[in-house]
């Protein structure tokens, strides 16, 4: 099954940077009401840099892998880069398969490109990224208008 790339299974079994850590500037809790998947996500900002993303994810392999990839891709990055990655993931996941993803921007996120062909699973893959954007908003980070997830 092309959906379950080795990289996805690897991230879902050993999620990177998992667990909730302190200190944090914002904590959000997002759920996927259709299946009950949940993610609690915290962010810590240091000026314009995402210093830490920590999370507790309860869900399918796709949602856990996606949260793991998120934490790996945005931690230690300037806010503008993190937002570009988020926007790129969103575009790929909602492209119905037309956008294969840019590995230079989303890293391991390209392994989730196959999810776009399964509409019922797109929300699973987006859950962590939506929580991340929400957490940034709650932390009062300045998000340019054109980038929203």
Of the candidate residues 36, 98, 145, 146, the single one contacting other proteins (CB under 8 A): 36
Q: Check residue 61 for interaction with other proteins (CB under 8 A).
A: yes
Of the candidate residues 59, 101, 109, 128, the single one contacting other proteins (CB under 8 A): 59
Smallest distance from other proteins to CB 127, Å: 11
Decide if 49 contacts 104 (C-beta within 8 A).
no
Quote the tokens at residue 57: 């994810």
Smallest distance from other proteins to CB 39, Å: 11
Closest CB to other proteins among residues 90, 123: 123
Q: Check residue 96 for interaction with other proteins (CB under 8 A).
A: no
Sign of CA dihedral 146, 132, 83, 94: negative
Closest CB to other proteins among residues 96, 148: 96
Q: Check residue 108 for interaction with other proteins (CB under 8 A).
A: no
Select from 35-43, 48-56, 69-77, 98-106 the region that touches other proteins (CB under 8 A). 35-43
Number of residues in contact with other proteins under rule CB under 8 A: 18
| Binding stretches for other proteins (CB under 8 A) | 1, 3-4, 9, 13, 34-38, 58-62, 118, 121, 124
């Amino acid at each position: 099954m092309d959906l379950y790339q080795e990289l996805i299974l690897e991230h879902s079994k050993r999620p990177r940077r998992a667990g909730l850590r302190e200190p944090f500037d914002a904590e959000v809790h997002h759920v996927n009401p259709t299946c009950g998947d949940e993610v609690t996500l915290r962010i810590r900002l240091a000026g314009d840099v995402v210093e830490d993303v920590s999370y507790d994810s309860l869900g399918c392999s796709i949602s856990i892998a996606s949260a793991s990839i998120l934490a790996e891709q945005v931690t230690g990055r300037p806010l503008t880069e993190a937002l570009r990655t988020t926007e790129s993931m969103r575009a790929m996941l909602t492209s119905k398969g037309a956008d294969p993803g840019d590995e230079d921007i989303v890293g391991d996120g390209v392994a989730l490109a196959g999810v776009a062909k399964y509409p019922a699973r797109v929300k699973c893959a987006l859950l962590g990224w939506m929580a991340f954007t929400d957490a940034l908003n709650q932390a009062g980070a300045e998000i340019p208008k054109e980038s929203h997830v």
